[in-house]
């Protein structure tokens, strides 16, 4: 990769650091444990739409999946389980599409006394963000979204469609 191009990308990412951090904090405020993912999914769908992504939001239908290899028993109903996919179409289709996938669900916080601060009230200290889901995997979701933002800010467009997938159910069966 050309050194100037690399530096331009790094500057574009760094210039939005505060916005990225604030976005991640917003994600961490959602108590998106299994069965309570709808609010964060609507937030993410809105974030995609505001950036010009074609956005698809749908509810999981366990009956469509139960015959698939590796299907696990459903422990919680899927009434609140939404998946979100954003597609950033390109004007040209000269390469392979790219899918960036990550899950929004988090494991339960457990006993409150084990947390220095409330688990869904994220804070930064010593260069780290603390809060339920910050590392697994809401930071990854934020990075995926803002990496594509940085490329767009530089005027670059991928050679093929890019998809951002925000999915549920990773923390129990996937």
> For 87, phi and psi rounded to 5 degrees?
-115, 125
d(CA 144, CA 54): 16
* Lookup: tokens for 112: 């409150």
Contact 148, 88 (CB under 8 A): yes
Contact 132, 24 (CB under 8 A): no
Strand partners, 166: 84, 102
Which residues, 6+ apart, have CB-to-CB distance to 113 below 8 Å?
none
* Residues with a known catalytic role: 105, 170
């Amino acid at each position: 990769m050309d050194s100037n191009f690399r530096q331009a990308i790094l500057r574009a990412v760094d210039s939005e650091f505060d916005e990225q951090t604030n976005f991640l904090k917003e994600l961490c405020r959602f108590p998106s444990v299994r069965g309570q993912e709808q609010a964060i999914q609507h937030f993410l769908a809105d974030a995609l739409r505001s950036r010009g992504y074609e956005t698809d939001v749908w509810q999981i239908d366990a009956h469509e999946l139960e015959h698939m290899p590796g299907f696990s028993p459903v422990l919680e109903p899927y009434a609140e389980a939404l998946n979100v996919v954003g597609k950033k179409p390109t004007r040209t289709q000269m390469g392979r599409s790219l899918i960036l996938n990550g899950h929004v669900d988090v494991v339960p916080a457990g006993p409150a006394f084990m947390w220095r601060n409330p688990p869904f009230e994220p804070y930064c200290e010593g260069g780290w963000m603390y809060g339920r889901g910050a590392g697994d995997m809401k930071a990854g979701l934020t990075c995926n979204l803002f990496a594509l933002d940085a490329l767009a800010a530089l005027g670059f467009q991928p050679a093929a469609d890019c998809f951002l997938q925000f999915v549920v159910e990773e923390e129990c069966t996937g």
